[in-house]
Structure 1
Amino acid sequence: MRNKAGRFSPQHPTLGGNTGIRYSADHTGTVPMWHRWIPAVTGLVLIRLLPPKAAPAAAPARGNLRLQAVLLLASATLFAVALWLSGGGEPAHTLLKLILLLAVPALLLRLSRRDRADQGHIHERPSAWRHYAPIAPVTAWLALTYAGPLAVPAGDYAARVDLVTLALTVVVVFSVNSLLEEVFYRRWLQTRWEHVIGPRPAIVLTSLLWAAWHVGIQGTGHLVTDLSSAIVNQGVQGLFLGYLWSRYRLMWPILVVHGAMNAAPLLLGML
């Protein structure tokens, strides 16, 4: 199996006693899996301690919302499978993402505008508390992930390109990955499944689906091993992102975290 950059990746058998997991699709470097767990668990605890003020619960799903949830689930599943079958390289990765995570869902939701999962409590004007409470878990996650002994190693991309190329890379990566994925997986998919099965099961379901597609760009060809690695890495990160969205219903916290996941290793190379 080739990764996003078109290189073969070494096996990382988390089921066989090796606790190293890849933290980027651009190279084969690994970190111990608890380096990813500790920041996420710390963030989850802080979210639990700093809940939103009088956040409304999701109403039971009506028939059209259930259909939306199922169709979005199918689109997410098809994306993960198609990307894996394609080998995970470009341009398949970006084209599949734009079609299955943006174009198809946007058309679906446009045709279903009269029965939206986010009517009411997502567009409710957030209190000042809900605006600022996410600062604590997001800051703690950033500090643990990119500073101190748990820090993700810096990449050398920033040192190899000029500033214009670096800036364009960051903007494109943020738009195609962080922004698009968070809108699809958290705002669209998770929100609808919260109405169907409840918030916590929806967070788990969305996290697993978000983790699964990473097999296509970070896989080794050993499907069970690759899935286990994705679950203990992106799956755990997805729980943090999903809980941020479920608790606060604000886009900026999940965009900051997801954006840092992708861009920080690049930018740290400038230091």
Structure 2
Amino acid sequence: MRSRILFGTGLLVFSTALAALLFSGRTEIRTSADAESPPTALVTALLPIVVAMVLIRLVPARLPVLPPLTGSDRPAVARQGWVLTAIAVLFALVVLVVDLGDWYGLVKVTVLLGGSWLALRIWRAPSAGAAAQRSAMPRWAYWLGPIPAVLAWGYLLYYSPLAGDRDMSDYEQYDTGFLITAMVLTFLTASVAEEIFYRVLLQTRLEAVLGRWPAIMVTSLLFAAMHLSRIGDGPHWVVLATIIVWNGGFGLLVGYLWARYRNAWALIVVHGAVNSLPLIPVLLH
């Protein structure tokens, strides 16, 4: 019952945020905190996520799933899951009330990964089962299964006619070395650190206790909450709805990718792409 309530509540949050944007006539959203980044059409942001999630489900049709934990192992894994949830909530509150500025990346890695390392050493538990699920998976599915979804998502979001012509010329004011350094640091502190914490550590444990979709839903909303201070100005409700729809929607995509394939490399590639692909034309200019 608890799992169904969590899933239903999460679905309601996503639906309400999307409806609020649509009924207010906001057909474009800001998907980056950078002032230089242009707005993105709502359909351009969401359709690639939907298509990719369909492909994740279909390629291949059958894969082993993470079995729910029962017996003596369940309380210890559940305790780890709730402690990691508390760390995610703590970091979301910190970034909401404190302007971390240039310290944002370091604080994020320290709280999320440092806090997780400490918590998992204090509250030890057996494996949540992801390794066993991955071992039962055909090797080709582990490595090749994510490719259609990842390619379709990247093409639709950045290169298809749907994506239109994104004006990234405002980034040309920055030195190439600065942009490359910023991309590398973002890759390490966002693409790698966030996926390890939110998907590999947190979602896996919540899946073992709550089931697949409630865990994906909770993790996606916690992932969205981390971005509460990161996307632009405007009415608070618009910023909140945008973060839920865009960052939360991206969380659903990578969460499902992780749940189906248990391939952390695929998560890092997708997350790295969303942060770097728009800037590649600027670097090549």
Question: What is the CA distance between 1:105 and its match in structure 2?
Answer: 0.6
The answer to whether the aligner puts 1:110 opposite 2:118 as a matched pair is: no
Question: What is the CA distance between 1:125 and its match in structure 2?
Answer: 7.0
Question: Which sits farther off after the overlay, 150-159 or 183-192?
Answer: 150-159
**TM-aligned CA distance change 1:166 to 1:125, over 3 Å:** farther
Q: Deviations over 1:149-192 (max 9, x none)?
A: 33272534763444443332222110011100000011011111
In the TM superposition, 1:23-34 aligns within 5 A as: 23-27=31-35, 29-34=38-43
Question: Which sits farther off after the overlay, 96-105 or 144-153?
Answer: 144-153
Distance in structure 1 (CA, Å) of the matches to 2:171 and 2:242: 27
Count of residues paired in the alignment: 259
Letter of the 1:97 counterpart: K
Question: Which sits farther off after the overlay, 120-129 or 167-176?
Answer: 120-129
User: Would the aligned equivalents of 1:53 and 1:130 in 2 still touch at CA under 8 Å?
Assistant: no
Letter of the 2:111 counterpart: L
Distance in structure 1 (CA, Å) of the matches to 2:136 and 2:67: 16
**TM-aligned CA distance change 1:118 to 1:183, over 3 Å:** farther
**TM-aligned CA distance change 1:72 to 1:14, over 3 Å:** farther
Distance in structure 2 (CA, Å) of the matches to 1:154 and 1:200: 37
The match for 1:236 among 244, 249, 253 is 249
Distance in structure 1 (CA, Å) of the matches to 2:42 and 2:130: 38
The answer to whether the aligner puts 1:140 opposite 2:152 as a matched pair is: yes
Matched with 1:51 is 60
User: Would the aligned equivalents of 1:211 and 1:235 in 2 still touch at CA under 8 Å?
Assistant: yes
Distance in structure 2 (CA, Å) of the matches to 1:122 and 1:162: 45
Q: Deviations over 1:184-208 (max 9, x none)?
A: 0110111111011100111111111
**TM-aligned CA distance change 1:72 to 1:198, over 3 Å:** same
Matched with 1:124 is 135
Letter of the 1:166 counterpart: L
Distance in structure 2 (CA, Å) of the matches to 1:29 and 1:158: 11
Matched with 1:5 is none
Question: Which sits farther off after the overlay, 159-168 or 184-193?
Answer: 159-168
Identity %: 36
Letter of the 2:152 counterpart: A
User: Would the aligned equivalents of 1:68 and 1:192 in 2 still touch at CA under 8 Å?
Assistant: yes
Distance in structure 2 (CA, Å) of the matches to 1:182 and 1:125: 23
Q: TM-score, normalised by structure 2?
A: 0.82
Distance in structure 2 (CA, Å) of the matches to 1:219 and 1:117: 38
Distance in structure 2 (CA, Å) of the matches to 1:165 and 1:229: 28
In the TM superposition, 1:9-48 aligns within 5 A as: 16-27=24-35, 29-48=38-57
Unmatched 5+ stretches in structure 1: 1-11
User: Would the aligned equivalents of 2:199 and 2:258 in 1 still touch at CA under 8 Å?
Assistant: yes
Question: What is the CA distance between 1:119 and its match in structure 2?
Answer: 5.8
The match for 2:78 among 66, 71, 82 is 66
Matched with 1:217 is 230
User: Would the aligned equivalents of 2:69 and 2:128 in 1 still touch at CA under 8 Å?
Assistant: no
The match for 2:213 among 175, 178, 200 is 200
User: Would the aligned equivalents of 2:68 and 2:211 in 1 still touch at CA under 8 Å?
Assistant: no
The answer to whether the aligner puts 1:179 opposite 2:192 as a matched pair is: yes
User: Would the aligned equivalents of 2:258 and 2:264 in 1 still touch at CA under 8 Å?
Assistant: yes
Question: What is the CA distance between 1:86 and its match in structure 2?
Answer: 1.3
Q: TM-score, normalised by structure 1?
A: 0.86
Question: What is the CA distance between 1:18 and its match in structure 2?
Answer: 1.6
Matched with 1:6 is none
Q: Deviations over 1:233-259 (max 9, x none)?
A: 111111111110000000121111110
The match for 1:227 among 228, 240, 243 is 240
Q: Deviations over 1:118-149 (max 9, x none)?
A: 56425627512221011100000011111023
Distance in structure 1 (CA, Å) of the matches to 2:61 and 2:114: 32
SS of structure 2 residue aligned to 1:121 = helix
